[in-house]
């Protein structure tokens, strides 16, 4: 038996990320191997998890990942840990379509209990009705307990304890308000401004949590049978040379995507911000990130941009990486910054508008799933020639969008997931027939 659980909340902003990070750090400091996971496609929370736990966080997404693959990924990492903690997304039952892809659906699929974080700052005995509803709404999950956050005083907590008891939900503790451990949001989401300061915030949050929550009681409430051994078919190592952009401007990658790429050959990393030359490679991968924050540096590295224009291998680019391959990126003030010019398109941060959602892309006979999350927009709608590409959202509704697909480039705003389909990616990129 091992503690395994998902941390959820009735809504965003209840403090589940801060509590997740505090739990990861507190349990890691106790000498336990703690494996963090993130429900959904988010790139930023896993970076924080990794910092807090000292182990790389792994995304689990029931929309992008087929069930057998999702099970295999979870079991592979969970078996190597003493405790497995999944941070949920949005509200417990919020999914792409009703509960599809929600935290509750993931907990039910993996058969692990849920700890509910409730923002109690403006709530007292009404918590009983809320908890009763969350306990009974969907019988596919087990509510292992509740943590009340932003509690005003011990007398306030006593009322909340009574409410939870009447709803039949175990109380695992409470946290008073601590403004100094609130994690500020910036840009697309949570942002690490400096690891040293951020480590201090996580340590303070862990101290605060340990003072008010009985960790051993929490672990006892979340024991589940040890995950089964994952059945993995060893891949034959490939011979490709793969170069991946990784720095402050480009860093949105999924661990399982990188693991799948490693089956094709040797991986090396380089920085478009500082690299003096493009590394030798059969395949270049430019993931998403924050290129718009580093436009002067990217534009000033003219040697690398010129080498990229002369590069003859295959290129895969997503979101910020796709923007970098375009002719210009226009900043918020309307100034254009020259980029690689491999795609006849310019993108702009001047008139920001959020584009968000899951995507399913059909390229010939190949199907890939992923998601979009960006504020930049095309300066003009690109004209696309070549094979027809169909794009759908999570409800299987047609979505207007652009995917660049040439004999050697695959690029677009979509963040692809290919952890379960590296063969399809090879075919689309023309690496195999």
Residues marked active site are found at 319
Q: Report the C-alpha gap between 431 and 181 in whole angstroms.
A: 48
Residue 246 CA, chain-centre distance (Å), reads 16
Rounded to a whole number of angstroms, the distance between the first and last alpha carbons of the chain is 47
Q: Classify residue 386 by its DSSP letter.
A: S
Helix, strand or coil, per DSSP, at residue 60: strand
Ramachandran angles phi, psi of 290, nearest 5°: -125, 55
Written as six digits, the tokens of 164 are 């939870």
67 three-state secondary structure: helix
List Cα–Cα distances, 323 to 329, 341, 378, in angstroms. 7, 10, 9
Query: DSSP character for 279?
Result: P
Task: Decide if 243 contacts 283 (C-beta within 8 A).
Answer: yes
Three-state SS sequence of 227-255: CCCCCCCCCCCCCEEEEEECCCCEEECCH
Tell me how far apart the alpha carbons of residues 328 and 304 are, in angstroms, rounded to a whole number: 15
d(CA 8, CA 122): 19
Please tell me the distance from the alpha carbon of residue 118 to that of residue 91, in angstroms, as a whole number.
11
Residue with tokens 């709530």: 123
Distance CA 212, CA 20 (A): 15
Token pair, residue 157, equals 């907590």
Print burial letters for 138-157: b (CB count within 10 Å at least 16), e (below 16): beebbbbbbbbbbbeeeebb
Sign of CA dihedral 370, 286, 193, 55: positive
């Amino acid at each position: 038996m091992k503690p395994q659980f998902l941390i959820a909340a009735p809504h965003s902003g209840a403090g589940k990320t801060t509590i997740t990070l505090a739990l990861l750090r507190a349990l890691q400091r106790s000498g336990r191997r703690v494996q963090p996971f993130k429900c959904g496609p988010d790139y930023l929370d896993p970076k924080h998890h990794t910092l807090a736990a000292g182990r790389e966080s792994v995304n689990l997404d029931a929309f992008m990942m087929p069930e057998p693959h999702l099970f295999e990924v979870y079991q592979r990492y969970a078996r190597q840990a003493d405790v497995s903690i999944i941070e949920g997304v949005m509200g417990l039952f919020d999914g792409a379509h009703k509960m599809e892809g929600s935290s509750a659906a993931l907990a039910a699929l993996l058969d692990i209990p849920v700890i509910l974080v409730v923002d109690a700052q403006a709530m007292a005995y009404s918590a009983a009705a809320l908890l009763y509803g969350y306990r009974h709404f969907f019988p596919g999950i087990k509510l292992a307990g509740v943590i009340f956050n932003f509690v005003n005083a011990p007398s306030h907590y006593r009322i909340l304890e009574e409410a939870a008891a009447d709803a039949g939900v175990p109380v695992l503790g409470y946290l008073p308000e601590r403004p100094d451990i609130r994690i500020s949001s910036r840009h697309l989401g949570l942002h690490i401004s400096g690891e040293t300061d951020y480590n201090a915030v996580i340590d303070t949050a862990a101290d605060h949590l340990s003072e008010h929550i009985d960790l051993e009681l929490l672990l006892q409430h979340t024991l589940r049978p040890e995950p089964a051994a994952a059945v993995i078919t060893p891949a034959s190592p490939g011979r490709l040379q793969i170069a991946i952009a990784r720095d402050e401007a480009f860093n949105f990658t999924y661990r399982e995507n990188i693991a799948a790429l490693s089956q094709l050959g040797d991986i090396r990393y380089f920085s478009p911000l500082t690299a003096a030359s493009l590394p030798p490679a059969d395949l270049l991968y430019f993931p998403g990130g924050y290129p718009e924050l580093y436009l002067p540096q990217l534009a000033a590295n003219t040697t690398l941009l010129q080498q990229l224009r002369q590069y003859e291998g295959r290129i895969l680019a997503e979101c910020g990486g796709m923007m970098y391959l375009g002719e210009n990126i226009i900043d918020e003030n309307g100034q254009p910054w020259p980029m690689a010019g491999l795609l006849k398109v310019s993108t702009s941060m001047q008139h920001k508008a959020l584009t968000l959602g899951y995507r399913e892309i059909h390229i010939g006979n190949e199907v890939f799933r992923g998601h979009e999350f960006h504020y930049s927009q095309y300066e003009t709608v690109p004209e696309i020639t070549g094979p027809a590409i169909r794009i759908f959202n999570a409800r299987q509704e047609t979505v207007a969008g652009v995917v660049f697909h040439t004999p050697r480039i695959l690029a677009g705003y979509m963040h692809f997931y290919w952890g379960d389909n590296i063969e399809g990616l090879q075919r689309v990129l023309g690496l195999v027939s």
